[in-house]
A and B are shown apart, each in its own frame.
Chain A
Amino acid sequence: MWWVLGLGMMLAVTMLLAVGLGPVAVPLDTVLRIFSGQVSGESQAATWSTSEESIVMLLRTPRVLLGAAVGAGLALCGVALQALTRNILAEPYLLGVTSGASAVSASVILFGAGAGIGSVSLASGAFLGALGAGIAVFLLARVGSQMTSVRLVLAGVSVGYVLNALTSLLIFASDDPNAGRSVLFWTLGSLTQATGTSALTTWAAVVLALVMLLYRARPLDALASGDATAQTLGISPTKLRAAVMIVTALCVGALVAASGGIGFVGLIVPHIARLCVGATHRTLLPVAALLGAIFLVWADVLARVLVAPQELPLGIVTALLGAPLLFVLVRRLNSNS
């Protein structure tokens, strides 16, 4: 409980600071005054420029809100999938959903399928691609009425490979010399497309996923110990896998549609959270969500200030930050066993 409160406050501070940081820095007190001006509706005492106000309100705030939602969602889904597969290498993209989203968005970007409707069609296409891939993995993994963790992992990997090959084929077949670059930006993930609406819908998806997973926290504990354990405690492993898979596929679909495939967060944050509070899902889920949100907001700050005024794709930053953390975990894992 203290972890949740402490991390919640840390996230609030992180988000406030992050709104001020970027190629154009806005001091914290100005950020606070802009916010309070917005809340009270008073603008006569404005001591800030209009460009500062639009940077804060139109660019940074939606972006920071979206970043926190995406980070929280990826960490949540990572925790859930690691429990489902009992595999510490499982991550949200295991279900092939990122590859599905990338394949569909590549075809939208390169061949203009649904062109003219703009970013809405790109986001909803990515969402549908993610869901389609999730459904394919689900159907492949389910043989008869059984769905084991090994089948789930293999089905996810194979669907991912097929869809990645399709994406590469689309880039290869395109005449556009910038095609690869624009699709790459999508597959590496970015928060530059953030709007108030996308931030809010993503938050809604993440909160919904958190509630549904918390409701299954104890069954997830049992499943993490083994299928036989779950069964002896009155839980059907196959039904639980199906239910959690649907929740995570929908959530990851929404995340990928808003921000592309940001790697490493869903893999690394669950491990850090387990080191902090143990493996009981009732506390692990909210703690992982908060840590994921904090991690991604800071990663995005780095993405926009490191090579300013240019921007790094967020996936590169998360991988560069996440990989050393993974190395440390690998060392710890060795010394424990």
Chain B
Amino acid sequence: MISASDVSAGYDGQMIVHGAGLHVDSGEVLGLIGPNGSGKSTFLKTLYAALRPRAGLVTVDGQPIGELRGTALARRVAVVAQESPGDLPVTVAETVLLGRSPHRGALASFTVEDHRTAASALRMLEVRHLADRSYATLSGGEKQRVLMARALAQQADHLLLDEPTNHLDIRYQHELLDLVGRLGLTTVVVLHDLNLAARYCTKLVLLSEGRIVAAGTPVEVLKPELLNEVYGITVEQVYTDGCLQLLFSMPSEQLGVGTLDLEH
């Protein structure tokens, strides 16, 4: 269970999230949605203590996150963040094994069990064959799946994902989110694709300009008039096989607004 109440956070004196809150029960998948720059990633960072909120409280299973720093937190909360990898040659196997480090002391070796856990995480994400490749040489989608495997190797019961479907082709996007649903972990996932959010999340929280404008089930949150107000785009709801799907179109007055002349 993860709870956040009245969280305000930002960088260098600039506030990005204002009084936001959410509650995810055990085993639920909560989707965090909103336009670019609405504060989704910033809000997510406060949920794994990468960013200390200026105000408000975040708890994991009822315990304030501030009391759970370091590896104790990493054993309970696994994260796939948006990463800017360096250029040191680390292999895929080494990258995934790192997920086991919160479970081992500073000088202890990884056990056979650690290697087994890492290998099964690689299999779950269908990247076992890449184990000996250098992480830097992978495609964007492969990297994303390897980072997901590392988070699973952490064996935490909470999972935080920042745009995990980035760089994935359409099949892997569905496979990954389907897997997330089947894992049964308490999950918060930042998503851009509203149709994926509608399909795979049990709850949604919609952020706009750092504030929460709607929270509830996908049907409650993904209302055409609300999305039109937040994203400035026309939305139509359709149901296929009982699933909510959204169709988007630009309002005619929005078309042709951007200038094509690069010199001015």
Contact = CB atoms under 8 A, between A and B. Distances in A.
A279 interface: yes
A282 B104 CA distance: 13
Interface in A186-211: none
Given A221-B94, A336-B134, A232 B89 contact: no
Which of A149, A225, A234, A280 counts the most B-chain CB atoms under 10 A from its CB? A234
B136 interface: yes
A215 B106 contact: yes
A229 B80 CA distance: 8
A234 B73 contact: yes
Given A87-B86, A221-B101, A225-B90, A232 B78 contact: yes
* A-side interface mostly: helix
Contacts of A144: 12
A232 B69 contact: no
B83 interface: yes
Contact of B81 (A218, A232, A282): A232
Interface in B206-239: none
Contact count band on B: 35 or more
Contacts of B50: 228, 231-232
B81 A83 contact: no
Contacts of B135: 225
Interface in A41-93: 82-83, 86-88
B85 interface: yes
A149 to B, nearest CB: 8
Interface string A96-107: 000000000000
A225 B74 contact: no
Contacts of A118: none
Contacts of B36: none
Contacts of B150: 229
B88 A232 contact: no
A226 B98 CA distance: 12
A233 interface: yes
B99 A234 contact: no
Contact count band on A: 20 to 34
Given A215-B107, A278-B91, A336-B137, A229 B81 contact: yes
Interface string B40-70: 0000000010100000000000000000011
A274 B88 CA distance: 9
Interface string A294-337: 00000000000000000000000000000000000000000011
Which of B75, B79, B135 counts the most A-chain CB atoms under 10 A from its CB? B79
Contact of A222 (B82, B98, B137): B98
A234 B107 contact: no
A21 interface: no
A232 B79 contact: yes
A2 to B, nearest CB: 15
A16 interface: no
A235 interface: yes
B26 interface: no
Contacts of A83: 88
A226 B106 contact: no
A224 B98 CA distance: 11
B101 A228 contact: no
B102 interface: yes
B83 A226 contact: yes
B48 A86 contact: no
A93 B65 CA distance: 39
Nearest to B99: A233
A225 B84 CA distance: 8
A233 B100 CA distance: 9
8 contacts: A86-B87, A88-B87, A224-B90, A225-B90, A229-B83, A233-B98, A234-B102, A279-B91
Q: Lowest 9 A-B CB distances belong to which pairs?
A: A86-B86, A234-B74, A232-B79, A234-B71, A228-B81, A234-B70, A231-B50, A218-B101, A279-B90
